[in-house]
Chains A and B, each alone.
Chain A
Amino acid sequence: AQSVSQHNHHVILSEAASLELGCNYSYGGTVNLFWYVQYPGQHLQLLLKYFSGDPLVKGIKGFEAEFIKSKFSFNLRKPSVQWSDTAEYFCAVSYSGTYKYIFGTGTRLKVLA
């Protein structure tokens, strides 16, 4: 079955630290890839997405992600986190030919001021 893994369940960082959150998906052909953020008590917001082209994708709020096809990965990065980045981050994958999104289990990020 197709699946998405986020290995870091909880991450705690100090402000200005660099961030990298892992996302791996199972093989299934052509994929579209997404990162969403959910701030406490709020709804999902799209951070960035990859459909095709340049594998390094830049999103909002200074986030970026790199699609590495050979590793089935789409890791999220931010060079310097802020306290306001405290949230839960979800990776999602949709496979070609299907409308469905498969979400990872999420990574809860806490940034200490």
Chain B
Amino acid sequence: GAVVSQHPSWVICKSGTSVKIECRSLDFQATTMFWYRQFPKQSLMLMATSNEGSKATYEQGVEKDKFLINHASLTLSTLTVTSAHPEDSSFYICSASGGGTNNEQFFGPGTRLTVL
């Protein structure tokens, strides 16, 4: 149980284009989803938290107009990197929480974005 998928697993795009990454909870309803970014050989940094049906809450320093997050249903959240640039190349990881006492997060496999 508690499986989270991401699509695509990797994507290469040209500078200036937009890329959408999907995060799905496959066997539970995710009241809250999280998006993280991991640079090579570094730790995970939380970018934003999204609750179903409401606007995402972004961490300090994360541009909300550049990283658009939509959490339209209890099983799907999307991250769109708009006007991507090479510095946006990174590993993007989502997680989902169904709430409960411990608010445990279940992590997706990640999406590797390379912007040329």
Within 8 A of A (CB), among B38-56: 41-46, 49
* Residues in chain B within 8 A of chain A (CB atoms): 32, 34, 41-46, 49, 93, 95, 97, 101-105, 107-110
Chosen A-B contacts, 6 in total, with CB atoms closer than 8 Å, are A43-B93, A43-B109, A51-B102, A100-B46, A103-B43, A105-B42
Most chain B C-beta atoms within 10 Å of own C-beta, residue among A90, A101, A105: A101
Q: Are B49 and A101 in contact (CB under 8 A)?
A: no
Chain A contact residues, CB within 8 Å of chain B: 32, 36, 43-44, 46, 49, 51, 90, 94, 99-106, 108
Task: Looking at the assembled complex, report how far the CB atom of B91 sits from the nearest CB atom of chain A, in whole angstroms.
Answer: 9
Given contacts A43-B93, A43-B110, A44-B93, whether A101 and B43 have CB atoms under 8 Å apart is: no
The one of B34, B42, B102, B107 in contact with A44, judged by C-beta atoms closer than 8 angstroms, is B107
Cα-based distance from A90 to B89 in the complex (angstroms): 22
Minimum C-beta distance from A52 to chain B (A): 9
CB-nearest residue of chain B relative to A102?
B46
- Chain B residues with CB under 8 A of A103: 43-45
Choose among A43, A49, A94, A108 the residue that contacts B107 (Cβ–Cβ < 8 A).
A43
